[in-house]
Amino acid sequence: MVPPLERLNLSIHTTSGELQAQVDVPTSIIPITDIVPVMRSLGEQAQALEISATLQAGKKISCQKGCDACCQRIMVPVSPPEAFALAKTLEGLPQDHRARIKRRLAETRERLQAAGLLPLLQELAESPNQKTDSDLDPINRAYYALRLPCIFLENDACSIYEHRPAACREYLVTSPAELCQDTEKNPVQVLHIPLRAGTVLSVLWAELTGGPIRLMPLPIAFEWAEKHQALNKKTWKGMELFQAALEGLGKFLHQTFTSLPRKKPSR
């Protein structure tokens, strides 16, 4: 049953310009998973600003259907609310599709275990401490070196495309697609993202639970969601939850603006 929705018109100042966005927000009592598509929609509308500016500048987006280099090797970060949403999506798939994904998930975990990475990824998902980029960089590099295809990848395309994580939606490049075969060695130009929905959802989750802002690796998301399923049974008023998400968005945008290089005053 689809919860009742209220359409909101928002004006948000981002690093890619002024975002005039529309979102449909549930107005009933909802679980955290119901806010995930709302924030993903907001992120995609913000991304459209940057895509438009990029195209107007004479560049093009190289990512197309069938181009799966990133899906073949990159460690996808997932926010806790997305982990719950992905687990729900997985269980709702037809039996044969679900079985294929679970088989690939088991194979991926076996390879991670053999490489000694599985305990490190599990620690990322459960650590009570805030992780830094310097903490994550060596793990990302080690994961990338394994060349592990995404468990959702089938026939060179995402088999859950409409439900894919925010990080997958946000990863676009303007450099030639062939350079993506090895992003460690090649000068890949990644599109600037004005609003990262996964990060905002992580900030929201941290505010709701009092824990760190965490993004967990996709292969660990289902294990984490099962372990913490009691948290997914909590509900909130839809508008209050969305308001809390907007506050998290404000923190994200503030940090983004303050991290921009300052222009020298003209004389």
For 195-257, give the DSSP string: --HHHHHHHHHHHHHS-----EEHHHHHHHHHHTTTGGG--EEHHHHHHHHHHHHHHHHHHHH
- For residue 258, the model assigns a pLDDT of 84
Per-residue confidence at 133, pLDDT binned at 50, 70, 90?
confident
Task: Give the tens place of pLDDT for each residue, 39-82.
Answer: 999 999 999 999 999 999 999 999 988 888 999 999 999 999 99
Q: What pTM did the predictor assign?
A: 0.93
- For residue 64, the model assigns a pLDDT of 87
Task: Give the tens place of pLDDT for each residue, 138-191.
Answer: 999 999 999 999 999 999 899 999 999 999 999 999 999 999 999 989 999 999
Task: Please give the C-alpha separations between residue 9 and each of 20, 127, 166, in angstroms, as whole numbers.
Answer: 7, 37, 21
Task: Give the tens place of pLDDT for each residue, 215-233.
Answer: 999 999 999 999 999 999 9
Collapse the DSSP code of 66 into the 3-class scheme (helix H, G, I; strand E, B; otherwise coil) and give the result.
coil
Cβ count near 16 (within 10 Å):
20
Minimal CA–CA distance to 15: which of 174, 201, 249, 266? 249
- Domain locations in the chain as residue ranges: 5-258
Cα–Cα distance, 139 to 155 (Å, whole number) = 28
E-strand ranges in 52-196 read: 77-78, 153-154, 157-158
The pair phi, psi for residue 63, each rounded to 5°, is: -70, 125
Please state, rounded to an integer, the average pLDDT across all residues of the chain.
93
Please check whether residue 187 is in contact with residue 179, taking contact to mean a CB–CB distance below 8 angstroms. Answer: yes
Does pLDDT of 266 surpass 50?
no
- For residue 262, the model assigns a pLDDT of 58
Per-residue confidence at 200, pLDDT binned at 50, 70, 90?
very high
- For residue 65, the model assigns a pLDDT of 83
Cα–Cα distance, 254 to 195 (Å, whole number) = 11
